[in-house]
Amino acid sequence: MALNIEDYALISDCHSAALVGRDGSIDWLCLPRYDSASMFGALLGDENHGRWLLAPADEDATAARSYQGDTFVLSTVWTTKTGQVEVLDFMPHGNGRADLVRRVRGISGTVHMTQDFRIRFGYATTIPWVRQLKGESVHGLVAIAGPDAIVVRGPALRASDHRHVSHFAVTAGDTVDAHLTWYPSHRDTPPAIDIDAVHAATCAWWQKWASSCSHEGPLRAQVVRSLLVLRALTHERTGGIVAAATTSLPEQIGGTRNWDYRYVWLRDASLTLEVLLSHGYEVEADGWRAWLLRAIAGDPGDVQIMYGLSGERYLPEHELTALPGYQGSSPARAGNGAVGQFQSDVIGEVMVALHAARAAGVRENEFSWPLQRALMSFLEKNWRRADQGIWEVRGQAREFTHSRVMVWAAFDRAVRGIEEYGLDGPLDRWRTLRDEVRTDIETRAFDANRNSYVQYCGSTEVDASLLVLPQVGFCAPTDPRMLGTVAAIEADLMRDGLLMRYRTHAAVDGLPPGEHPFLACSFWLVEQYAKSGRREDANALMNRLLGFVNDVGLLSEEYDVTSGHQMGNTPQALSHLALVRAADAIEAAGS
């Protein structure tokens, strides 16, 4: 059975990612892209669904792990009765290949190591044909099934009941390398790589990227790691930013809220872009804007809320019947049925992010402003439409307040693009619509009895997404209406000191009730506290949230306070970008 979610560490080459367990097993790997079918899928089942275990044979061995500096090179130091070894796990960056390296270095004594290698292509639907690699001095295996092929080089592996195993000893001063490469099966087997060289180059690239971070507060280490996570989830060639590295990790054990997050949500990517821009990463902004122009080119009425990494539109949701699900939580899924939803807020997030890019000095090109004008023309005609909202409810479409506020933000940034940057457009009409949207929100989405904004027009429920209102400038954090909204959110959505997104038993989302506190929402509350003068509350909640970060600085989507475990897909871009915003707010408040 898969480990607890917090027991996994991420490695990435900015094209794909793998999850390495505390037990030395790689239980999730999709190559060559984040959204490719898994070849190691034990995360959503057990070892028979694919994994690569590399660990001491001593079952009493203990492990301590960390990243090598500000990189995604994972160091695990194993201590046994007979000695100590270090295992380095990383995916080489910048070599144009799909590689994964596992380097074992003897520190003291002698340690007996074991490998258990089970390759299962196509989400565990296919056991490949395997042959010995010939013509090389190093031992190797080639595994092929359909379009996929891998070559793994290293300690000799022998076949044993649909798996391959090996046992070898490492003494102080020894270095033993194992190296996997994915390649299209119709091509020749790629040559081995110089592991010393790719290790040095990979470390240098990550360290250089991290050194550009502009945050200098007491939480710098957490901010840098979170920014690194956001970069690790950004596809280098296309500029697409995935919401998480995994699919189908449940919001509740045994539940059905198990979604595929390996795609580019306009919302999450826009918010990620804003955070990267605010910390000095303009190059990523230009790359993402180029991705956006390609992805949503065409009729603005056809804009989707999410796309594939290269801008693919067809992402049908289907069940992965060969995978039983994380700790039995089924179904496991690929694709995402929300792709066809109408969510008006995403246009607002895009406009806010592109305005932030302008403010950061990213110049408009011949396509970028016409694209924004086209989006605004669509919004002019459709802003009153009910939608599925930020939480992608699968129930009735409603006039969600957060969506309306993001519509307001879209018109606001369009107006400011003309006023502040001399761009062309129907200024008076957009100003009028901006005011009309605000009036609609203030009159139809506000409960005077509670002095609070509500989840949707006509509702009496609140929603944690209302904490975004000050973030986009709709109101000040200290506005009496916002303070009343915070009080209502605290009263209705706080569970064990953390925030739920909304009350699932209110039946708004069309799904069976039950989930755990959503981490990004609690980070939003930290930001609100810090910006409204509640510094002690901000620090207290921030410290508690940072206590949920795992040993290598990663956060998933939700947190189960009762069991003390992370829940949902991991690492979650929204959780990490909200962490960064909260840390920035605390630093700005002088806490």
CATH number of the domain within which 56 lies: 2.70.98.10
Bigger pLDDT: 364 or 152? 152
**220 occurs within a structural domain:** no
Q: Kindly report the CA angle at 551 between 248 and 590, in degrees rounded to 5?
A: 105
**Of 156, 186, 201, at which residue does a domain stop?**
201
User: Cα 257 to the chain's mean position, in Å?
Assistant: 17
Helix (H) / strand (E) containing 386: none
Q: What is the DSSP letter of 43?
A: G
* DSSP per-residue codes, 124-169: HTBPPEEEE--SSSS-EEEEEETTEEEEEESS--EE-SSSEEEEEE
> Cα separations (Å) of 26 from 7, 53, 110, 290, 566?
11, 6, 24, 34, 19
Is 158 a domain residue? yes
- 197 falls within a domain: yes
Q: Are 158 and 132 in contact (CB under 8 A)?
A: no
* Structure confidence by residue, pLDDT tens digits, 239-288: 999 999 999 999 999 888 899 999 999 999 999 999 999 999 988 888 88
Q: For position 532, which CATH number holds?
A: 1.50.10.10
Domain count, the chain: 2
Asked whether residue 78 is assigned to any structural domain, the reply reads yes
Residue ranges making up the domain that contains 571: 446-591
| pLDDT reported for residue 473 | 98
Residue 49 · residue 323 · CB < 8 Å: yes
pLDDT tens for residues 444-498?
999 999 999 999 999 999 999 999 999 999 999 999 999 999 999 999 999 999 9
Question: Which distant-in-sequence residues (6+ apart) come within 8 Å of 224 by Cβ?
Answer: 70, 210, 213, 215
Contacts of 207 (CB under 8 A, 6+ apart): 69, 70, 71
Separation of alpha carbons 452 and 450, rounded Å: 5
- SS3 letters across 253-281: CCCCCCCECCCEEHHHHHHHHHHHHCCCC
Has residue 159 got a pLDDT over 60?
Answer: yes
Place of tokens 């074991």: 114
- Cβ atoms 249, 91 nearer than 8 A: no
Which H or E run includes 347?
helix 345-359
- Type of residue at 161: D
pLDDT digits (tens, 9 = 90+) for 56-110: 999 999 999 999 999 999 999 999 999 999 999 999 999 999 999 999 999 999 9
* 98-124 burial: b if 16+ Cβ within 10 Å, else e: bbbbbbbbbbeeebbbbbbbbbbbbbb
Q: What is the pLDDT of residue 447?
A: 97
Q: Is residue 532 part of a domain?
A: yes
Domain closes at, from 201, 233, 266:
201
d(CA 504, CA 558): 14
Please tell me the distance from the alpha carbon of residue 123 to that of residue 146, in angstroms, as a whole number: 13
Asked if residue 82 belongs to a domain, the reply is yes
What is the predicted pLDDT for the residue at 510?
Answer: 66
Q: What is the pTM of this model?
A: 0.96
**Domain assignment of residue 76, yes or no:** yes
Alpha helix stretches (DSSP H) within 85-242: 121-124, 195-211, 220-232
Residue 507 confidence (pLDDT) above 60:
no
pLDDT in tens, 198-237: 999 999 999 999 999 988 889 999 999 999 999 999 999 9
Asked which of 201, 224, 252 is the last residue of a domain, the reply is 201
